Structure 1
Amino acid sequence: MEFAKIKETCLYVSDLAKSKYLYHQQLGLPLISEVPGRHLFLRAGSSVLLCFIADAAKQSTEVPPHFGSGHLHLAFETSPAEYPLWKAKLQAMQIPIE
C-alpha cells in the first residue's frame, strides 16, 4: 500500500473548551462536530483533527472507543511562503512553538 497522507489525527485532551478556543477560534480550523464532554472534530485542510476526552470516549458502545495517554504532539504544515506569517501570528497570540 502506498500512503498519500494521514487522514486524521486523534488527540486526547483534558479541556474541550480550551481545545476549541485554540484550534477553532485562534487557529481558525472549521468545526465539524462537537459533543460536549466527549469530543471536538475539526477540519485541517483535507484532514481531520479529533480531540477526545479519553475517559468519556472509552465508554462508547456505538463506535469504536477512543482513549489513550502519554506524551502527544501535533505538527501543522504550511507553505514556505506562509511560514513566517504563521510564526509571527502564533507568537503574537503567545502560543508556544517548539
Structure 2
Amino acid sequence: MRRFTSARSNVVWAIIFKTLRAYTKPGATMAAGPRRVKDFMRRRSSRTGHLDAAGLTARSFGSAMASPPKRVLTPESAMPRLNRIIETALYVDDLERAAAFYENVLEVEAMLRTKTLYAYDIGGSSVLLLFQRGESLGSQTSPNGIIPPHDGSGPLHICFAVDAEELPVWETRLNQHGVAIEGRRTWERGGESLYLRDPDGHLLELMSPGVWTTY
C-alpha cells in the first residue's frame, strides 16, 4: 500500500477511518470494513468524479481541505449578535458612602475613581458603575468623543452571580455587617436568591446557578 507522508495524507486517512466506522455495522468482521469502503468509493466516484490515489474522489478531498466560509454580515443579510452586558450602572446620593458598602461588605475592587464615578470589577467579567446622582445629566465631551447624558432615580435592581456553596457564607457575612436579608427565593431549576439593600435603597440580589436556561 502506498505510504503518504504529507498533510494531505492525514486528511485522507481521517476520511477513510470515518467511513469505516460509518459503514461497518456492529458485529461485522474487520475484513468487511475495507470492502465497504471500496464499494462506497466506487459509488461516490460515479457521482462526483475520478478517484485519487487513496480511493477518494478529488471533489470530496477538496471539500475536506477547504476551510469553512467566514460569516460576512451586511445590514441587509443578517442580524448582528449581542455578546453580553459589560457595564451595569447605579446612581447614588453619596459616592463615599456607597463605596464603603461595596468595598467593605461586598469586597469588590475599584478600577476607577473620579469625582462623579466609581467603577468596580465584578468577577473579572463585568463592571459595576456607581454614578453621583445628577452629575451625568450633561454630555461628557473629550478629544476621543462624546458620552450622551443619562441618570436614574428610585430603587433599582441588579443581581450578582454567586456559587451555591457560598450562599450561606454570604448570608453570615451580611449578618456580621448588619445588612438585613430582605427576602429569599428558591427557583424551579434549583437556584436560590438572597435579597438585600445598599445604602441608597437599591435592591441587590445574590443568585446561585439554576435559575435561567443560561445560568
**1:19 and 2:92 correspond:** no
**1:97 and 2:150 correspond:** no
Number of the residue aligned with 2:151:
67
CA displacement 1:7-49 (0-9 Å, x = unmatched)? 221001001011110111221101011112x111001111110
CA contact (8 A) 1:52 1:66 kept: no
**1:81 and 2:159 correspond:** no
Decide whether aligned partners of structure 1 residues 8 and 61 sit closer, same or farther in structure 2, where only a CA change above 3 A counts.
closer
**1:42 and 2:120 correspond:** yes
Inter-partner Cα distance in structure 2 for 1:76 and 1:95 = 16
Which letter does structure 1 place at the counterpart of 2:131? F
Inter-partner Cα distance in structure 2 for 1:3 and 1:87 = 34
Identity, % of aligned positions: 34
CA displacement 1:38-97 (0-9 Å, x = unmatched)? 111001111110010131121242223231213212222211011100111011101122
Greater displacement, 84-93 / 54-63? 54-63
For structure 2, the 5+ residue unaligned runs are 1-79, 142-146, 183-215
CA contact (8 A) 1:24 1:30 kept: yes
TM-score computed with the length of structure 2 as normaliser: 0.41
For structure 1, the 5+ residue unaligned runs are none
Decide whether aligned partners of structure 1 residues 66 and 89 sit closer, same or farther in structure 2, where only a CA change above 3 A counts.
same
Greater displacement, 7-16 / 62-71? 62-71
Tell which has more relative contact order, 1 or 2 (C-alpha 8 A, sep 6+). Answer: 1
Which letter does structure 2 place at the counterpart of 1:91? N
CA contact (8 A) 2:136 2:151 kept: yes
Q: Which has the larger radius of gyration?
A: 2
CA contact (8 A) 2:138 2:148 kept: no
User: What RMSD over aligned residues (CA atoms) do the two structures have, in Å?
Assistant: 1.8
